[in-house]
Amino acid sequence: MTSGRPKISVRDLVVTYGRTRALNGLSVDVRAHEILTVIGPANSGKTSFLRCLNRMIDLDLQARVKGSITLDEIDIRRGIPAEDLRQRVGMIFAMPIPLPLSIRDNVAYGPRMSGLRDKAALDRVVEDGLRAAYLWDEVKDRLGQPALKLSGGQQQRLCIARTLALDPEVILFDEPTSGLDPISTAKVEEAMTELRKTRTIVLVTNNTKQAARVGVRTAFFLMGDMVEVGPTEEIFTAPRDQRTEDYIVGRFG
Amino acid sequence: MRNETLKERLGFGVLLLAALVVVVPVLAIVALIVLKGWGALSWKFLFTMPLDGMRAGGIFPAIIGTFYLVIVSIAFSLPVGVMAAIYLSEYARDNALTRTINLAIINLAGVSSVVYGLFGLSLFVVFLKFGVSIIAGALTLGIMTLPVIITTTREALRAVPHSYREVSRSLGASRWQTVRHTVLPRALPGILTGAILSVGRVAGETAPILFTVAAFYLPKLPTSLSDQAMALPYHLYVITTQIPGIPEGFRYGTALVLISLVLVMNIAASVLRSRYRKRR
């Protein structure tokens, strides 16, 4: 455990898509075992920031990335293959997207791709993942069924289980509850709070109340800049910047 | 109000007529061939060699020849076409090279089949010294079907939602693993459709095999890829125009066998496809 040192360290991160700039030189640390929530209006660069952290942004051929990002002091662009990085830094998308496979095969997908073949080990990984995502009891009798038959909330927890099956150190959530009802949202938030004990979480959300509920620290992004970052309580009760306050009380965004 | 409905009905009538214009000739062709050809069909017709200058006996060598041509040409064009489509859809960036390749594919699809025949003659038969042979004919047919296979495969790959690729990559899968385990299984039914279309074309084309493989008459079956072979479409041409005194039933019987062969292969591929769809 690298206590004290940041888990992820971002310095002078610039992201451009053609002529538009999504991030203008952003620097922030993510500490081990925290939930860093990122809030901000549309086009503030939240998702671009998140996608840099596991290099999913490389899939976008238009995107250009400058600056440095380290994970446990390893340069994620030069020090580690992208595939290995994405196993250590998992990602949950805004919309739950189960692959058109069975529930079991969805959860086993990542470990299989990294070379795990042993059936007993895969079964164990599937069960552990589903339990950690609070989905095991609902699906344990129908693991062979198509994942697309699950409800929306179950699908999103399946996606969490699928990411957890890789045992990532960091999990990136990109507005994971934007399409879910309040009960499903509560379950996902519960899973996040539990996961924090063993992992580090970065949560991008449009829901400021959610940031207040689960965030340890909160960062406020606006137009590609980080306006401020601090303990969630401070950001919500005594923000230093007027724009943060305006956003939180709902004057814009 | 009543005027409106009248106009509408008239409109529907025209549309219906257009649909019938498409359907009627197809039905007429099938009916004609079945009616005139059915009488000629027999075990002897299907499974024996031609006799008496092809005025009697069967068409077995032509059936076998067409069968070989279909198998060999698909064995070449399906893997090559699918690999090319995977490269173009999943790996290639949009640049001058890929635009040139795309242009080539579109143009290749528009080239008339007799030109393919001429090309096959000069490349495979003469330059590569394959001679007039099954391999030369099958490769010529294969190259002719490449554009169809590449285009349908690429469309099938593009129809797979981009989000599946994102999810797979986010789980640490490499680009090839993503193609192999997520994209290809979803695209397989579409790829099979392309293969089906190609089988129909390969079995039915005359011009590309004219100079590259087709034999007027062979007393024995081909035994290797470098042998000549008879083939159904060319045989049909020969007995219709080159030999006087052939019973009419023979011609329509041959045509019936040709369309049935294509139909059987299409049905087999469709069954395969629907079975694959159900399994998921």
In this structure, what DSSP letter does residue B214 have? B
Question: What pLDDT is attached to residue B280?
Answer: 52
State the distance between the two ends of chain A, measured CA to CA, in whole angstroms.
Answer: 38
- Which residue of chain B is at minimal alpha-carbon distance from A109? B171
Separation of alpha carbons A245 and A25, rounded Å: 23
CATH number at residue A210: 3.40.50.300
B278–A contact, CB cutoff 8 A: no
List the single residue in B with minimal CA-CA distance to A101. B280
**pLDDT (tens digit, 9 = 90+) per residue, B224-257?**
888 889 999 999 999 888 888 888 888 999 999 9
B186 touches chain A (CB under 8 A): yes
Residue numbers in B near A173 (CB within 8 A): none
Does A1 fall in a domain? Answer: no
DSSP per residue over chain A, as a string?
---SS-SEEEEEEEEEETTEEEEEEEEEEE-TT-EEEEE--TTSSHHHHHHHHTTGGGG-TTEEEEEEEEETTEETTTSS-HHHHHHHEEEE-SS----SSBHHHHHHHHHHHTT---HHHHHHHHHHHHHHTT-HHHHTT-TTSBGGGS-HHHHHHHHHHHHHTT--SEEEEESTTTTS-HHHHHHHHHHHHHHTTTSEEEEE-S-HHHHHHH-SEEEEEETTEEEEEEEHHHHHHS-SSHHHHHHHTTS--
* Beta carbons within 8 Å of B249's beta carbon, 6+ residues apart: B36, B37, B39, B40
- Residue A227, domain member (yes or no): yes
CA pair distance A127, B266, nearest whole angstrom: 43
How many domains is chain A partitioned into structurally? 1
Q: Do B166 and A93 touch (CB under 8 A)?
A: yes
In contact, B16 and B8? CB cutoff 8 Å: no
Torsion of CA B263, B265, B270, B272, to 10 degrees: 160
Interchain proximity A109–B168, CB inside 8 Å: yes
Query: pLDDT by residue (tens digit) across B99-132?
Result: 999 898 988 888 999 999 999 999 999 999 999 9
Q: Confirm or reject contact between B172 and chain A (CB < 8 A).
A: yes
Q: Is the pLDDT of residue B3 over 70?
A: no
Q: Give the C-alpha separation, A45 to A24, whole Å.
A: 9
Q: What is the model's pLDDT at position A42?
A: 87
Tell me what the mean pLDDT of segment B196-220 comes to. 88
- A113 vs B172: CB contact, 8 Å cut-off? yes
Cβ-Cβ contacts under 8 Å, B184 against chain A: none
- DSSP secondary-structure letter at B216? S
Query: Residue B48: its pLDDT value, please?
Result: 87
A184 touching B, CB under 8 A? no
- Give contacts of A 117-176 with B, CB under 8 A: 146, 159, 162-163, 166
Residue B275, pLDDT score: 78
Residues 6+ apart with CB under 8 A from A220: A39, A40, A226, A227, A228, A229, A235, A239, A241, A243, A244, A247
> Which chain A residue has the Cα nearest residue B187?
A100
Would you say how long chain A is, in residues? 253
pLDDT over 60 at B94, yes or no = yes
DSSP for B153-165 reads HHHHHHTS-HHHH
The answer to whether B171 contacts chain A (CB < 8 Å) is: yes
Given a contact cutoff of 8 angstroms between Cβ atoms, the answer to whether B199 and A108 are in contact is: no
* Closest Cα in chain A to B163: A97
The values of phi and psi at residue A228, to 5°, are -160, 160
DSSP for B71-118 reads: HHHHHHHHHHHHHHHHIIIII--SSHHHHHHHHHHHHHHHS-HHHHHH
Residues of chain B found within 8 Å of residue A91, distances taken between Cβ atoms: 170
Q: What is the extent of the structural domain holding A117?
A: 8-248
Pick from A93, A115, A63: nearest CA to A160: A93
- Average pLDDT for B88-92: 90
Residues A49, A226 contacting (CB under 8 angstroms): no
Test B171 with A59 for CB contact under 8 angstroms.
no
pLDDT of residue A1: 39
Q: Which domains are delineated in chain B?
A: 57-231 (1.10.3720.10)
Which residue among A54, A84, A97 places its CB closest to the CB of B167? A97
- The complex's ipTM works out to 0.90
Residue of chain A minimizing CA distance to B94? A61
B181 close to B160: Cβ distance less than 8 angstroms: no
**The two three-digit tokens of residue A248, written as one number:** 């939180």
In tens, the pLDDT along A110-149 reads 999 999 999 999 999 999 999 999 899 999 999 999 999 9
Is residue A253 a part of any domain in this protein? no
Distance between CA atoms of residues A187 and A133, nearest Å: 9
Q: Does B182 touch chain A (CB under 8 A)?
A: yes
Question: Helix, strand, or coil here: B51?
Answer: strand
Q: Among all chains, which residue has been given the structure tokens 């600056």?
A: A67
* pLDDT for residue A103: 96
Residue B104 CA: distances (Å) to CA of B1, B81, B146: 54, 13, 11
**Cα(A197)–Cα(A203) distance, rounded to whole angstroms?**
15
Largest CA distance in chain A: 56
Six-digit token pair at A76? 């994620």
Q: Give me the pLDDT at residue A43, please.
A: 87
Please give the model's pTM, rounded to 2 decimal places: 0.83
Smallest Cβ–Cβ distance between B164 and the set A99, A114, A162 belongs to A99
Tokens (6 digits) for B274:
């629907």
Say yes or no for a CB contact (<8 Å) between B163 and A86. Answer: no
**What DSSP character marks residue B224?**
S
pLDDT digits 0-9 by tens, B142-190:
999 999 999 999 999 999 999 999 999 999 999 999 999 999 999 988 8
Q: Which residues of chain A have pLDDT under 70?
A: 1-4, 252-253
Does A2 map to a domain? no
- Compute the average pLDDT of residues B131-138: 94
